[in-house]
Amino acid sequence: MLEIKNIQKSFKDHMVLDGLDIKIEKGDVVVLIGPSGSGKTTLLRCINLLERADGGTITFNDMTADFNHMAKKETAALRKKTGFVFQNYNLFNNKTALENVALGLIHGRKMSAAEAREIAKNALDKVGLQEKYDFYPSQLSGGQQQRVGIARAFALNPYVILFDEPTSALDPELISEVLSIMKQLAQEGTTMLIVTHEMSFAQEVANHVIFMDQGKIVEQGKPEDIFLRPKEERTRQFLRRINNYNEYSI
């Protein structure tokens, strides 16, 4: 469904993505783990074309494009195939929850306001915010704001939803409500590519885990293989360090 081949990205002289290959099938929940600075967020942003990769190709079903030579029409078409959930919500403070979700449908998908509102309501219902349609971001908790962000991505009906550390900006007591929604989406067959440091969550919901370091894929496989039987010493070292402080269990 989605295939990335030989993706490369540098910032000045620093190679951030060094020839990665990734393949995601419909219904997959793929989790990216690794230390800060390993290129995980940059990879998501390149897939969503928020950043322009220096090289490589991206394929969605029967559509293939070169990252470095992409026409505006191709860029627009590929962006419509993904939804993005940001670390820090990225909501418009002067818009209600309903307006934040509907906005992309009206401007990006050219829907009527009435149709966009109905889809937005359904998406907010799905994340448990049916009583918060008219609330502004300042009136919502961090967990609720992130659920609006998830609803906004889900409402676009994308092929894949990209999650960039969706709980990193949350207080510990609010993490579970966001992860529970993501777990629900996974159980319903939503295709997701997730950057997270929540190892227990990754172990439970992912069907494929990729460990990245210094812009490369060090190791990948089934969650039980990566978390319980890692082959690479760098993977074992990372898991030993992160498991010392990450004891969250959904």
The 10s digit of each residue's pLDDT in 96-146 is 999 999 999 999 899 999 999 999 999 999 999 999 999 999 999 999 999
Number of domains in the chain: 1
- Residue 35 to residue 15: CA distance in whole angstroms: 16
The reported pLDDT for the residue numbered 242 is 82
* In-domain check, residue 163: yes
The reported pLDDT for the residue numbered 244 is 58
* In-domain check, residue 125: yes
Which residue spans within the chain are E strands per DSSP? 2-11, 14-24, 29-33, 55-60, 63-66, 82-85, 160-164, 192-195, 208-213, 216-221
Looking at residue 234, its amino acid is R
**pLDDT band at 172; cut points 50, 70, 90:** confident
* In-domain check, residue 56: yes
* In-domain check, residue 138: yes
* In-domain check, residue 10: yes
The 10s digit of each residue's pLDDT in 4-44 is 999 999 999 899 999 999 999 999 999 999 999 999 999 99
The 10s digit of each residue's pLDDT in 210-223 is 999 999 999 999 99
* In-domain check, residue 23: yes
* In-domain check, residue 90: no
Size of the chain, expressed as the number of residues it contains: 250
Q: Which of 168, 97, 180, 181 is nearest to 139 (CA)?
A: 97
* In-domain check, residue 55: yes
pTM of the model: 0.94
Print the domain residue range for 208.
2-68+95-248
For 192-217, what is the mean pLDDT? 96
CATH of the domain at 218: 3.40.50.300
- Residue 204 to residue 186: CA distance in whole angstroms: 10
